[in-house]
Copies of this chain bind each other. A is one copy, B any other.
Amino acid sequence: MATRKRMSPLAEQILEALEERGYRTTEPRRAVAQVVANQDRHFTAEELRQMLPGLGRATVFRSLKLLVDVGVLCRVLLEDGALHYQMSLRGHHHHLLCVECGISQDLTGCDIEDVLTQTSDRHGFELSGHWLEVYGRCRDCRSKEAVSA
């Protein structure tokens, strides 16, 4: 029996989220959970794969899909069209993405729902969902420029 490494509480939570849905706790999933829990930024599938060189490629992609499905990860669409993944608060939310440093901040309150409902109504549409990403410059990047200016 291999000595089981101690996992971070966040990693444990991720595995619990899977267990709740009936998924088994396996060694590869433990490894994925541990790595994902340590990320403080969004990352690509390829980056995750490089952080887990021991895992099969298919397993990495399967895990990504699984974690998006159970709500542990969310997809983040960058302005250039690249798709990244990020630890997620559960539920519907959007992102403020800094085009300079790349940091992403979650927008939990979805303030645009009302506007969207009105607009949809005007066009005879029955609203069922939406996808929104917001791009700009974060506080840090702005203040850095202010100093150097």
Which residues of A are interface residues toward B (Cβ below 8 A)?
75, 77, 79, 81, 83, 96, 98-99, 105, 107, 109, 111-112, 115-116, 118-120, 123-139, 142
Give the complex CA separation of A134 and B131 in angstroms. Answer: 6
Bound complex: CA of A73 vs CA of B107, how far in Å? Answer: 30
List the B side residues contacting A118 at CB < 8 Å: 111
A96 touches B112 (CB 8 A): no
CB-nearest residue of chain B relative to A142? B126
Once bound together, how far apart are the Cα atoms of A133 and B137, in whole Å?
A: 22
CB distance from A117 to the nearest CB of B (A): 10
How many Å from the CB of A125 to the closest CB on chain B? 4
A138→B137 CA distance, assembly (Å):
36
**Does A126 contact B136, Cβ atoms closer than 8 Å?**
yes
A55–chain B nearest beta-carbon distance, Å = 23
- Selected from B112, B138, B139, the residue in CB contact (under 8 A) with A112 is B112
Decide: A132 near B135, CB < 8 A? Known: A96-B125, A119-B111.
no
